[in-house]
Amino acid sequence: MSRSPSRSLPGRRAKTAVLAAALLAFTGAGAAVPAAAQTARPATGPGYLDARRPVRDRVEDLLSRMTLDEKIGQMTQAERGSVTPDDVTRHRIGSVLSGGGSTPTPNTAEAWADMYDGFQRAALATPRRIPMIYGVDAVHGHNNLVGATIFPHNIGLGATRDPDLVRDVGRATAEEVAATGVDWTFAPCLCVARDDRWGRTYESFGEVPELPAAMSVIVDGFQGRRLDGPASILATAKHYVGDGGTAGGDDQGDTRISEAELRRIHLPPFRAAVRRGVGSVMISFSSWNGVKLHGHRYLVTDVLKKELGFDGFVVSDWNGIDQIDGQPGFTPQEVATAINAGIDMVMVPQDWRRFIDTLRGEVQAGHVSMARIDDANRRILTKKFELGLFERPFTDRRLLRTVGSDRHRALARRAVAESQVLLKNDGGVLPLARNNNKIFVAGRAADDIGIQSGGWTITWQGSPGNITPGTTILQGIRQTAGPSTTVDYSRDGSGIDGSYRAAVAVVGELPYAEGEGDRPDGMGLDAGDLATIERLRASGVPVIVVLVSGRPLDVAAQLPGWNALVASWLPGTEGRGVADVLFGVTRPTGKLPMTWMRSVDQQPINRGDGKKPLFPYGYGLTYRR
Ligand code: GLC
């Protein structure tokens, strides 16, 4: 198999690649592209392949040539594990995704790029040669990829109150994602988390609309100044709308509020993202006053598309259309309801064959109009043209060197430091002296990349353990302490004695994602963590608690026994950023993005609701000197 001609050519996606792909299509995969064919100008052929024409014209030209099945294929997104490149060609599938943790083997950037290019070659082998678009959840870095830089989850980025930093995080993430060929991230989540019992609280930048709205700037980082620019990827504002406002924080539950409150609390971040030109919007699994968002024509078409003027495309969530009638699987009625509500592309990971047949049947039965099908295709194809996929469909492997790069890790370390929120510091026990000190570190989260990264890391749910290269918080402490300082560690605190001058307990939550993280039955530290802290306290040494968690926890009862408390959130791979704050290399500047409850009985508790919290939204201490 000859090397793909695009692999060694410069540019985001080599200009001759579309020509090469077309020739590959005609000569069969792998045939070398004759040198004479590798010219910079596109092949003569249908108008939509002429990059000199306006996108609008190219879309209309292409649409006029497409069959119904080709149009339905563009509206179909299948999961990589349930579709082959040959399926993509045969069924004209327009998009492939990786669900959380769905990776090639080996899970390397090169293998991702090979996988992506394989699907892309298959898409270009269709009669219209429409490139496919590949989506992943790069929600805190290219987090499915081992070796990628893992940034703090959104709750930590919200604590930084630093939009410029957040934009840079988006840009760095885009570079690492694009390095693997992938052109679309299902991020940012612009949810406004109102009840911290919700398992996706950490995916929220904050509990009040202005914070997620401000942090929608990450869209600029992902999409760059031009969608066809180097390393630009399509962003997704999700999950539209009200996912963070469900009763009891029940994931995929029911948001029971007035339209005025929905508009006041949950809509502004989407308005901000639309103004930034976000390319796609993902629909929420949740309901509004009992009606599933996946079937909500008023909110999706009338509000999002017409009132807010969203001109990108709307994608469903994972089998989201199945939930419209509350029964497993999807029916023809649900397919028609979802498409007529305004969903343009359906994420149907496994059952995509039946979806294609069902939608065809609904169009032929007159339940879905060709006007709606064409509108969906216009939206999808416009983004594919704007991304430059027709001219540069393959991976630019020059970006591979950005994956897990020192530059990106330094940025992540800075984001970690800026996200730390100092909540208590009795007697100025912090910052720790770097020299001539004796520090005892304990806690199951102290030396564990998996725990400090949280969910959506390498696997969907995340997991404890040495799951990807990085620096644990303990390693960061050891790297920052001077040679005259002793740093000892035991997971449960055993071995500490009164000779130490400070004890650092790094405790909190084990990784989780989505509904697996819902906590309807309490939000306190578990018995193991509490025992570790007590063991340290019994020594008489001042105790500094560092909470690694996806949300505020119910710690008011224990707090009086702690000398200091730092909310570390889910920092990701660059744990040294935590040490930077503990030793005062960086002063703590983080501010709470969520009100911190005095008791779980207060949930939901948010700014301005009249309840008395332990720490209010926006609270955060710093060092006097
Ligand atoms: C999940 C999530 C969504 C994610 C999608 C694809 O269920 O709700 O945030 O983008 O499926 O993994």
pLDDT in tens, 467-496: 999 999 999 999 999 999 999 999 999 999
pLDDT at 12 > cutoff 90 = no
Average the pLDDT over 543-552 and give the result: 98
Q: Is the pLDDT at 37 greater than 60, yes or no?
A: no
Q: Check pLDDT > 60 for residue 330.
A: yes
Question: Which residue among 102, 137, 143, 461 has the greatest number of ligand 1 atoms within 8 angstroms of its CB, and so is best to mutate?
Answer: 137
pLDDT average, residue stretch 223-232: 96
Q: If you measure from the C-alpha of residue 241 to the centroid of ligand 1, how many angstroms do you get, rounded to a whole number?
A: 14
- Inform me whether the pLDDT recorded for 432 exceeds 90: yes
Nearest protein CA to atom 1 of ligand 1, as residue: 318
Q: In the predicted model, what is the mean pLDDT of residues 432-450?
A: 98
- Which of 186, 202, 350 has most ligand 1 atoms within 8 Å of its beta carbon, as the pocket-test mutant? 186
- Domains by residue range for the chain, with CATH: 5-401 (3.20.20.300), 420-602 (3.40.50.1700)
Ligand 1 centroid – CA 5 distance (Å): 34
Residue-wise pLDDT for 14-25, tens only, equals 333 444 444 444
Among protein residues, the one with the nearest Cα to ligand 1's atom 11 is: 318
Q: By CB neighbour count within 10 A (0-12 exposed, 13-18 middle, 19+ buried), where does 466 fall?
A: exposed
Could you tell me if 13 and 392 are in contact, meaning their C-beta atoms sit under 8 angstroms apart? yes
Contact present, 79 and 97 (Cβ < 8 Å): yes
Specify the pLDDT at position 33: 39
Which ligand 1 atom sits closest to the C-alpha of 318?
11
CA of 83 to the centre of ligand 1 (A): 18
Q: Which atom of ligand 1 is nearest to the CA of 236?
A: 10
Is the confidence at residue 11, as pLDDT, over 80?
A: no
Atom number of ligand 1 nearest to Cα 239? 9
Please report the DSSP string for 306-361 in residue order. IIS---SEEE--TTGGGGTTSSSS--HHHHHHHHHHT--BEE-SSTHHHHHHHHHH
CA of 322 relative to ligand 1 center, distance in Å: 14
Provide mean pLDDT across the span 156-175: 98
Lowest mean pLDDT across 2-6, 234-238, 416-420, 576-580 = 2-6
Which of the four pLDDT bands, split at 50, 70 and 90, describes residue 624?
Answer: confident
Strand pairing category for 95-97 and 133-136: parallel
Confidence class for position 45, pLDDT limits 50, 70, 90: confident
What is the predicted pLDDT for the residue at 182?
Answer: 98
Percent of the chain with pLDDT over 90: 92
The model's confidence at residue 42, banded by pLDDT at 50, 70 and 90, is low
Distance CA 82, CA 79 (A): 5
Answer yes or no: is pLDDT of 28 > 50: no
Q: Give ligand 1 pocket residues (Cβ under 6 A).
A: 99-100, 137, 186, 238, 317-318, 514
Atom in ligand 1 nearest the alpha carbon of residue 186: 10
Q: Which residue has the tokens 């007590």?
A: 534
- Determine if residue 513 is left, alpha or beta; phi over 0 gives left, psi from -120 to 50 gives alpha, anything else beta: beta
From residue 58, alpha-carbon distances to 47, 62, 64, 67, 381 in Å are: 6, 6, 10, 16, 9
- pLDDT of 1 above 60: no
Question: Tell me, what's the pLDDT at 388?
Answer: 98
Q: Which atom of ligand 1 is nearest to the CA of 189?
A: 9
- Mutational pocket test of ligand 1: of 95, 318, 323, 459, the residue with most ligand atoms within 8 Å of the beta carbon: 318
> Where does 549-586 show beta strands of DSSP type E?
564-567
Residue nearest to atom 3 of ligand 1 (CA): 317
pLDDT single digits (tens) 551-597? 999 999 999 999 999 999 999 999 999 999 999 999 999 999 999 99
Mean pLDDT of 203-232: 98
The predicted structure's pLDDT at residue 38: 37
Instruction: State yes or no: pLDDT of 31 exceeds 60.
Output: no
CA of 152 to the centre of ligand 1 (A): 18
Nearest C-alpha to atom 8 of ligand 1 is from which residue?
A: 317
Ligand 1, closest atom to CA 203?
Answer: 9
Q: What is the mean pLDDT of the chain?
A: 94
Give the tens place of pLDDT for each residue, 273-311: 999 999 999 999 999 999 999 999 999 999 999 999 999
DSSP string, 159-202: HHT-HHHHHHHHHHHHHHHHTTT--EE---B--B---TTSTTGG
pLDDT above 80 for 361: yes
**Residue 411 clears pLDDT 60, i.e. is over it:** yes
Percentage of residues of the chain with pLDDT beyond 70: 93
- Enumerate the active-site residues: 317, 514
Atom of ligand 1 minimally distant from the CA of 100:
12
pLDDT of res. 20: 43
Among protein residues, the one with the nearest Cα to ligand 1's atom 10 is: 186
CA of 573 to the centre of ligand 1 (A): 22
Q: What's the pLDDT tens digit per position in 312-326?
A: 999 999 999 999 999
Q: Are 42 and 22 in contact (CB under 8 A)?
A: no
Q: How far is the CA of 517 from the centre of ligand 1 (A)?
A: 14
pLDDT-based confidence at residue 39 (cuts at 50, 70, 90): very low
Atom 7, ligand 1: residue with shortest CA distance: 318
pLDDT average, residue stretch 170-196: 98
State in Å: Cα 318 to ligand 1 middle. Answer: 6
The pLDDT score that the predictor gives to residue 43 is 53
Residue 508: is its pLDDT beyond 70? yes
**Residue 177 reports pLDDT greater than 70:** yes
Position 337 confidence tier, pLDDT thresholds 50, 70, 90 = very high
With 70 as the cut, is the pLDDT of residue 27 above it?
no
* d(C-alpha 89, C-alpha 352), whole Å: 14
Which residue's alpha carbon is at the smallest distance from atom 12 of ligand 1?
99
Nearest CA to ligand 1 atom 6: 99
Q: 159 CA to middle of ligand 1, Å?
A: 24
Q: State yes or no: pLDDT of 6 exceeds 60.
A: no
CA of 501 to the centre of ligand 1 (A): 46
Atom of ligand 1 nearest to the CA of 187: 10
pLDDT at 3 > cutoff 60: no
pLDDT exceeds cutoff 90 at 117: yes
Q: HEC states along 238-283?
A: EEECCHHHCHHHCCCCEECCCHHHHHHHHCHHHHHHHHCCCCEEEE
pLDDT tens for 72-100 read 999 999 999 999 999 999 999 999 999 99
What is the value of pTM for the model shown?
Answer: 0.93
* Start-end of H helices in 135-162: 154-160
